[in-house]
A and B are shown apart, each in its own frame.
Chain A
Amino acid sequence: MSTASPGIVRLTDVVKDYPLGKVTVHALQRVNLTIEKGEFTVIAGPSGSGKTTLLNLIGCIDVATAGEVTVDGKSTGKLTDKQLTALRLNSIGFIFQSFNLINVLDIKQNVEFPLLLQGGMTKAQRAARVDDVVDKVGLRQFASQRPNELSGGQRQRVAIARALVTRPAIVLADEPTANLDSVTGTQIIDLMRDINHADKTTFIFSTHDDKVMKRADRIVRILDGMLEAAGLSEARASGVIENGGGVHA
């Protein structure tokens, strides 16, 4: 395995077990994966294959049973809750399947929220940053509305703006299109890809939808907690199947 590039995300022999009554569910089994800065990666697999588990570990909202997860240069296994929280705040943006906006705040306030948690910016700086990302996702005219006044696709755009506003190293999106119709879903993925191309923001998202996964630069397939292949979509198309070591052309 290449050691030249540490990757923005690196999983080494990662295992995640869930105790379920008397049995243990092996959600992830010895997963090795490296994701480079600026990649637009999809974790693809059927329901129950372990996509959410994998993204939760990368997103530092869950801890591995064994193995090492390194995010933005930090090995997460030894971090305290406070340090993990800070890592999430400063290095990771989250986009959720069901949008998860704060309903009592309007769109602008939702987007501004992570900046307020970070602190250290003036009101004007925050406003400029918020306007910038709200523009980017095309929601300028909805800025002072509440989330429940918007359509699903619009809400997911708000979530994207909220994820981007801190300029995180990685944006994680767990099945961001699952609650959207296919046209809207495609638009959302295209918006994410446009931002990826423009800003070189690293995106990792999951899906079980073939149409959606085709729009990614790199597809990492997962089945029963094991990575089947990881590589560029071109590589997949040409029949080359690599092991999940993250080495790609």
Chain B
Amino acid sequence: MGVLLSIALRNLMQSPRRTLLLGLAIGLVTTFLVLLLSLSRGINENLVTSATTMSAGHVNVAGFWKPTTGTAFPIVTGVAKVREVVEKSTPGLDYVVERHRGWGKVVSETGSVQSGLTGLVAAEESRFFDRLILAEEKEYKDGGSEQVLGDPRRLSEDDTIVLFAGQAKKLGVGVGDVVTIKTETMSGASNTADATVVAVARDLGLLSSFSVFVPKSLVLNLYQLNDDTTGALWVYLKDIEKSEETSVIVRGALIDAGFLLRDHESNPFFFKFEAVQGEDWTGQKLDVTWWQDEVSFLTWVLTAFDTVTWSLTLILVVIIAVGIMNAMWNAVRERTREIGTMRAIGMTQTRVLVLFLLEALFLGLGATTAGATLGAAIALGVDAARIPVPSDAVRTILLSNELNLSVQLNSLLTAVVFLTAFTGLSALWPAIRASRLQPVKALTHTE
């Protein structure tokens, strides 16, 4: 009823100090929640970006090859046939790339780092080069320039390598320098190759400390593998949201085509290694996953972050609820005679309840909308400022070297709806008490 809305609004304006104070508290909690939610979405974006650049396609067809029951290699043999089936059976396919996997030591004159080797075919890649953000020279070289040097597309040349800034810094190398890669072959012999640094990429958090990019040929040479093998086929889709369902379709298609497949297990390939080594079979088995499987060991970060966000919010909200309740008790006390009057005139209990709830909901809606707007503005500002994250540990958690906040309408609505509902809920008890006041007692109430 319109008149209730109008009375509720005017009552709020009638005590501006109380309204402003409460509104400020509710608004600030909303701002806080929006900032944390935006940070959480930012981390999620970092996760998706780094995962689908560094660790996985949207859908992955990897495999294990066991020459004997006691050994296992993360290799897919007979790639051409597998690839044909995948390309034919994947709905919404964008493109497929091959990634060879290896593990080795990258050595320079002044240092060394352990890292996974990712061998790729530069001509096949598109997204990879778009996503990879190159570092400015000063990010990995003391006294370096602000220039971005090198070109990752030179991975099309033999014996080249792309490092991440953190690795380049540890190794003391820059674009144009030569590093040595040392690996162990399947037969246990050690093998080395020299590679020229053609580009240095900006770090992508945890994942980037364990990855370097080299041409596919380099990995094949280091491991002495033939051309019809690969580490995994990374399948990119037009719509990343369809990754999981598509992985099921691809799995089915491969089984239909006569390939042996491992049961789906939501873990990155290196988690499965030990289990596969202990399994009692030989030959080739394929393993189909989607990108979240490959970074499932990282999703705890998001879960933990969201848990902390909501716990902190709940604590703040409970404190504020006490304030709201207190204010509503005051309002009910101050307006007891008015309640008695309205009840006498013929206002029902329900409408008295609605009147007080409306008052709280108005306050909540106004304050949360303002707070969410402020939060969104701050989040956008911080995101645009590209503030560097100072600590390694925090970088690991954020999966990024810069504070990345992603403001989403969904987060804003969540904060506004949740906190408005909570404001209403806090006012519920006083409002119920107000509605249950006996008209006579309310009318004779004296302050």
In-complex Cβ contact of A86 among B346, B349, B440 (8 A): B346
Interface size on A, residues (CB 8 A): 27
Q: B443 contacts which chain A residues (CB < 8 A)?
A: 61, 96, 100
Q: Which of B1, B3, B347 contacts A109 (CB 8 A)?
A: B3
**Interface pair B338/A100, CB less than 8 Å apart:** yes
B7 at interface by CB-CB < 8 Å: yes
B343 to chain A: which residues have CB within 8 Å?
61, 85
Find chain B residues with CB under 8 A from A59 CB.
Answer: 344
Q: Is the CB of B344 within 8 A of A105?
A: no
Most A-side CB within 10 Å, residue of B345, B347, B348, B351: B345
Name the B residues within 8 Å of A104 (CB-CB). Answer: 7, 10-11, 14
Would you call B337 and A82 a contact (CB within 8 A)? no
Q: Which B residues are CB-close (under 8 A) to A90? A: 346
Residue of A nearest to B341 (CB): A100
Question: Is A221 an interface residue, CB under 8 A from the partner?
Answer: no
* A86: B residues at CB distance < 8 A: 346
A100–B337 contact, CB under 8 A?
Answer: yes
**Shortest distance from the beta carbon of B6 to any chain A beta carbon, whole Å:** 8
Look across to chain B and name the residue whose beta carbon is closest to the beta carbon of A168. Answer: B346
Which residue of chain B is the closest to A53 with respect to CB atoms?
B440
Q: Which of A67-75, A113-121, A136-144, A189-197 faces chain B?
A: A113-121
Within 8 A of A (CB), among B313-370: 337-338, 340-349, 351
Known contacts A100-B337, A100-B341: A85-B348 contact under CB 8 Å: yes
- Residue B439 at the chain A interface, CB threshold 8 Å: yes
Contact A89–B337 (Cβ < 8 Å): no
- Which of A62, A82, A94, A109 touches B345 (beta carbons < 8 Å)? A94
**Closest chain A residue to B351 by CB distance?**
A117
User: Shortest beta-carbon distance, B13 to chain A, in Å?
Assistant: 8
Enumerate chain A residues within 8 angstroms of B3, measured Cβ to Cβ: 105, 109, 112-113, 116
Q: How far is the CA of A82 from the CA of B347 in the complex (A)?
A: 9
A102/B7 contact (C-beta < 8 A), A61-B343, A89-B345, A117-B347 known: yes
Asked if A88 is an interface residue, CB under 8 A from chain B, the answer is yes
Per the bound structure, the CA–CA distance linking A118 and B3 in Å amounts to 12
Q: Which residues of A have CB within 8 Å of B10? A: 104-105
Whose C-beta in chain A lies nearest to the C-beta of B13? A104
Chain A interface, DSSP helix/strand/loop, else mixed:
helix
Task: Say yes or no: A162 contacts B344, CB within 8 Å.
Answer: no
Q: Select one of A56, A92, A116 contacting B1, CB under 8 A.
A: A116
A residues 46-104 with Cβ under 8 Å of B? Answer: 56, 59, 61-62, 81-82, 85-86, 88-90, 92, 94, 96, 100, 102-104
Q: Which residues of A contact B344 (CB under 8 A)?
A: 59, 61, 88, 94
Cα–Cα, bound, A94→B11 (Å): 23
Q: Which residues from 106 to 130 on chain A have a C-beta closer than 8 Å to any C-beta of chain B?
A: 109, 112-114, 116-118
- With A and B bound together, what is the CA distance between A207 and B3 in angstroms? 34
List of A residues within 8 angstroms of B345 by Cβ: 88-89, 94, 113-114, 117, 162
Cross-chain contact A85 with B338 (CB below 8 angstroms)? no
| In the complex with contacts A100-B338, A104-B7, A105-B7, A62-B346 CB distance below 8 A | no
A190 to chain B, nearest CB (A): 24
User: Within the complex, what minimum Cβ distance (angstroms) separates A6 from chain B?
Assistant: 23
Which A residues touch B6, using CB under 8 A?
105, 109
Q: What string of 1s and 0s marks CB contacts (under 8 Å) between B419-447 and chain A? A: 00000000000000000001110010000
* Inter-chain contact B1/A81, CB cutoff 8 Å: no
Report the minimum CB–CB distance from B447 to chain A (whole Å).
13
User: Is the beta-carbon distance between A102 and B338 smaller than 8 angstroms?
Assistant: yes
Closest Cβ–Cβ distance, residue A74 to chain B (whole Å)? 14
Instruction: Looking at the assembled complex, report how far the CB atom of A77 sits from the nearest CB atom of chain B, in whole angstroms.
Output: 16
Q: How far is the CB of B27 from chain A (nearest CB, A)?
A: 24
Contact B440 A117 (CB under 8 A): no
Shortest CB distance B173–A (Å): 74
Q: Can you name the residue of chain A whose Cβ is closest to the Cβ of B12?
A: A104
Distance, CA A118 to CA B439, complexed state (A): 18
Please give, as numbers and ranges, the residues of chain A lying within 8 Å of B337 by CB-CB distance. Answer: 100
B1-26: CB near A (< 8 Å → 1, else 0) gives: 11100110011001000000000000
Cβ contacts under 8 Å, B438 to chain A: 61-62
Residue numbers in B under 8 Å from A109 (CB-CB): 3, 6
When distances are taken between beta carbons in the complex, the residues of chain B under 8 Å from A103 are 14, 338
Contact A89 B346 (CB under 8 A): yes
Kindly supply a per-residue 1/0 record for chain A positions 4-45, scoring 1 wherever the CB is within 8 Å of any chain B CB and 0 otherwise.
000000000000000000000000000000000000000000
Q: How far is the CA of A222 from the CA of B381 in the complex (A)?
A: 76
Q: With the chains together, A6 CA to B314 CA distance in Å?
A: 62
Residue of B nearest to A114 (CB): B345
Q: List 9 A-B contacts (CB under 8 A).
A: A61-B438, A62-B439, A62-B440, A88-B344, A89-B346, A100-B338, A105-B7, A105-B10, A109-B6
Given A61-B344, A61-B438, 11 further pairs, Cβ under 8 A: A61-B343, A81-B349, A82-B349, A88-B344, A88-B345, A89-B346, A94-B345, A102-B342, A105-B3, A105-B7, A162-B345
